[in-house]
Amino acid sequence: MVKSFKKYFSFFGILNATTSVKINSLLNSLNYLINIDIPKIMKKLHVSQLKPIKLYSTNKCNTQGKN
């Protein structure tokens, strides 16, 4: 006997749709990080200047090569 009804939703179709949505969400969040957050972080790093904790230790390292 032939079945007279169609299956509109299969297990693999639902699985494909959910994974597609999850991958799209992940790609959008990565795109947001790359385009918006990383430039903000880089600007903050460029604005703030890193200073050594012990100035005398860095001066000794710089003068040792000159002797």
Sign for the pseudo-dihedral over CA of 41, 44, 46, 49: negative
Q: Please state, in angstroms and as integers, the Cα–Cα distance from residue 55 to each residue in 20, 48, 51, 60, 62, following that order.
A: 54, 18, 9, 9, 11
- In the prediction, which pLDDT does 40 show? 87
State how many domains the chain has. 1
6 found inside a domain? no
Q: State the Cα–Cα distance between residues 67 and 64, nearest whole angstrom.
A: 6
Q: Which domain holds residue 44?
A: 11-64
52 and 58 Cβ atoms separated by less than 8 Å: yes
Q: What's the whole-number mean pLDDT along residues 13-18?
A: 89
The DSSP code for 49 is: P
Quote the CA–CA distance of 46 and 40 in Å, as a whole number: 10
- Reported as a pLDDT band with limits 50, 70 and 90, residue 4 is low
The stretch 35-55 carries a mean pLDDT of 78
Model's pTM, two decimal places?
Answer: 0.47
